[in-house]
Each structure stands twice: as C-alpha cells, then as structure tokens.
Amino acid sequence: MKRRIKRLKRLVLLMFCRPGRWSKAPLFGTEKICILGPRGKGPHDSHSAGPPRWLRQAIDKGACSYHNPRVLAPNFKHLTKFELLVPPQSAGLRLDKFLAQQFSNYSRTLLAALVKDGCVRVGQLKPNKVKPALKLEGGEAISLELPAIEELDLEPQEIPLHILFEDDAIVVVNKQAALACHPPRAGQGGTLANALLFHFEALSGKGSARPGIVHRLDADTTGVMVCAKDDSAHFKLARQFEQRSVTKEYLTIVRGVVKADRDVIDKPIERDPNHREMMRVGAGSGRNAVTEYEVLERFAGFTFLRCRPRTGRTHQIRVHLNCVGHPVVSDRLYSRRPFLTLSEIQGRTPDAGEPPLIARQALHAARLGFEHPVTGLRVQFEAPLAEDMERCLAALRGHNVEVPSPHAVPDGSELVEGEDE
C-alpha cells in the first residue's frame, strides 16, 4: 500500500514538471534544497501538489540546476557577504531596485527572491519587515549574502551600430530590428551588449551580462536607446527611469481605424500565467501601467499612432493597444497576423511567395529625453523611422485612402461655442 501511495505521489508531481527536471521529484515538496529557499527545514516545509513558486522561479532564473535542484547552477560557487550603506541620494528607492543598481551582475528578480528569503538585513528592522518593496530613507546599513557568479564570457562581436551621439559618459544608438539587448543566457551572442563591447572600451558593468545597458527595447523594436560608459552615469540614468522623469515617444502602426484623436489607456499589466513570454491586462492584480496615444494618420483598416508611455512595463504599448482592439501590425505575440503584405493593403488575394512589407512588430522608439548624467542639462534624441516601417507607410499612403478624423470640421463649416463637435 505504501509503495502504491509513493508511486501515485510521484506521478502527481511529474504532472507539474517535465520528466528529467528533478532526479528525485518527490523530495522537492518536503525539502527546500535551493540556495534561494529558507535555510533549514521546519514545520512550514509541508508537502505540496506542485513545485513551490520560489523553486520554479529559481530554476527559471538559473539559481538552481535545471535537472536537480539539489545542485547549484554551474555559475554559482559560494555565498559572499556584503555590507553597504545607503547614500542619501538613494532615499525613496525600493530595496530591490537599490540592490539591482549596486549589483548589476544579478537580476532584480533574483535579488528580490533573496530579500524574501531573509538573506538581506536592513538596519535594525526585523526580518519579517524587510521586503523587496521597502522604501529606503538613506543612511541604512545593509548586509546581505550573495552567491558568487562567474563572469559571463561575453564576446565582443562586430555588429554594426547606428550611433546618434557619443561623449565620455553616454552613447545613444538607434537600435536595429532583430537585435536583443543582452543574451538570455550564457554562451549566446549576437546582441547589443556584444556590439557595445566591440565598439567601446569603457562601459558600465563591464564583466556582467549587461555591459552599458541602462534600459531595454524588445528585440524587434527599433529606435533610440541610451547606454552608459561608466557606473556613475549608469546610476544617474537608471534613477531617472525609476523616477519616470525620462520622456519616451514611440511611433506605431496598428490594425483598425482608431476613433479617438487622442486617449489614455490606464490598465494594469501582469504576466500571462499560461504563456510566460506574454503579458496581459490584469484584473486588478497587475502593476500600474499608463499609455497615452495620439492619431497621426488614418487609413482604411490601419492607423498610424504616436504613443507616450508614462510607465515602463514589459510589452506595455503592445498589450495596451491590443486590449483596446488595435494590435500592433505584425506583432507575433499579440496579433493574429504575424506579417503585413502589399496584397492585404490593396484588398486582393495574396500572391504565392509574396514577401511581407514588415515582418516584425511595427513599433519604433522615436524620441528619448533625459538629463545628461554629467552636465545635468536636459537633452533629447530622435531616431529616424526604420526602413520597413517607412515602406509600410508608403504602401498605405499609395494604395489606401486616408480616412479623415471623425472629429474633423468640414471645410467651410464652423464650430458653434457650447455645442458638441
């Protein structure tokens, strides 16, 4: 009987994890064996029907071995103790954001997990009061233990870059399509980080997985990005992104005719539990996200928009526009049609083997404004529209009748004060 129960438990557990992921699946419910788990065992270590969230996240982030959580990931060697003092200029920052700025080799997700599991102490606060969202006041003494990570062998690669501006502190580039900002895991290349290592000797966070990378754009989103050449510039730029003082402007082509000339989408965003690479509008449980947009041109079945995100959530513009019924053209994640062809614009049957006008999401970071980390002056940079989006707009303008604004005043007529437009 005991044998049958043991086999049944194992089968239930394997429903929640792929075969071969754990060598002894029944153990993970009763023993916390990852370095991210609470140390030691106790009454809270009860058996569960599925892997605990902290363990799933730890394995996904590479903190534990993929096949056996008893074994640390190859790039984790041992715990090292760090002590630091929160400077006055960091007052108001969340604890996890502050730690991510200080330890750029570690992801914010990993650092937040360490905070939750009691590996971080802040001043005289009790451990149960130390949370990732804790607001720092400045002057606190922080002690923590971090797993030592081998420096990733990130190779410089001769990838061409369109440099808009460069000085001793920053580099502003116009990122091309099909270029990720940094490798998703060790041993991979062909990213902006590899290109920056080839073109520039001085970069912030050199030796980490994200040298020079202050913020990110999706791999298939083109446009303006600012990169830092030293840690001081990186810190000051990152602080501006955290405080939302950076102005961002995007251009996009969406499906459908947007009725309102301008509007604001204020809907929380969360990760889709069924598709981990996607985000979705949350039902009150997501993170606050606000996007304002303005119509630039209307066509039959399409609209050219300018978007200004007030927050910086993953896939924010793409998710928000999709939720109001206007997905970004050629968005493979959120649109049902992964590309746009000339025949579709002309309303005819597509030709066999017809090449797409644009085969990636029609989204471009057109403008970026911030305070220069050295001079303190407000600067703004613009990137010309990518060639594939220009080609798409030219086709829309040449083969499609522009639709006037539903709020436009006809020639020769006047608006009467006090009446609806």
Q: How far apart are CA 337 and CA 324, in angstroms?
A: 17
Sign of the CA dihedral running 199, 201, 207, 210: negative
The per-residue pLDDT for 6 is 59
* 412 or 64, higher pLDDT: 64
- Residues 90-100: what's their mean pLDDT? 88
Most confident of 137-146, 306-315, 332-341: 306-315
Lowest mean pLDDT among 51-55, 112-116, 136-140, 149-153: 51-55
- Residues 282-288: what's their mean pLDDT? 78
Top-level class of domain 247-399: alpha beta
pLDDT category of residue 225 using cuts at 50, 70 and 90: very high
Fold of the 162-240 domain: Pseudouridine synthase (3.30.2350)
- Residues 361-379: what's their mean pLDDT? 97
- Residues 343-359: what's their mean pLDDT? 86
Q: Is the predicted pLDDT of residue 137 greater than 60, yes or no? A: yes
Q: What is the DSSP string of 192-207?
A: HHHHHHHH-S--TTTT
The per-residue pLDDT for 282 is 81
- Give residue for tokens 């085969």: 359
Q: How many CA atoms lie within 13 A of 385 on its CB side?
A: 18
Q: Please, what is the average pLDDT of the chain?
A: 79
pLDDT category of residue 15 using cuts at 50, 70 and 90: very low
Q: Which of 96, 117, 218, 220 does the annotation list as catalytic?
A: 218
* 410 or 174, higher pLDDT: 174
- Give residue for tokens 């969406």: 254
Q: How far apart are CA 114 and CA 129, in angstroms?
A: 14
- Which sequence spans correspond to the domains of the chain? 2-60, 76-149, 162-240, 247-399
Contact criterion met (CB below 8 Å) for 291 and 279: no
- Give residue for tokens 């090292």: 80
The per-residue pLDDT for 210 is 83
Q: Is the predicted pLDDT of residue 13 greater than 60, yes or no? A: no
What's domain 76-149's superfamily in CATH? RNA-binding S4 domain (3.10.290.10)
pTM of the model: 0.69
- Residues 281-289: what's their mean pLDDT? 82
Q: Is the predicted pLDDT of residue 207 greater than 50, yes or no? A: yes
Q: Is the predicted pLDDT of residue 179 greater than 90, yes or no? A: yes
Q: Which amino acid is at 35?
A: I
Contact criterion met (CB below 8 Å) for 252 and 385: no
Q: Is the predicted pLDDT of residue 75 greater than 60, yes or no? A: no
Q: Assess whether 167 carries a catalytic annotation.
A: no
Query: Residues 379-418: pLDDT tens digits?
Result: 999 999 999 999 999 999 987 656 665 544 334 333 333 3
Lowest mean pLDDT among 125-139, 143-157, 249-263: 143-157
The per-residue pLDDT for 276 is 81
Q: Is the predicted pLDDT of residue 131 greater than 80, yes or no? A: yes
Q: Is the predicted pLDDT of residue 314 greater than 70, yes or no? A: yes
The per-residue pLDDT for 165 is 97
Fold matches, 76-149 and 247-399: no
Most confident of 6-20, 117-131, 161-175, 329-343: 161-175
- Residues 292-315: what's their mean pLDDT? 96
Q: What is the DSSP string of 337-370?
A: -S-B-HHHHHTSPPPTTPPPSB-S--EEEEEEEE
Contact criterion met (CB below 8 Å) for 211 and 196: yes
Q: Residue 58: in which H helix or E strand, if any?
A: helix 53-60
Q: Is the predicted pLDDT of residue 322 greater than 90, yes or no? A: yes
- Residues 240-247: what's their mean pLDDT? 91
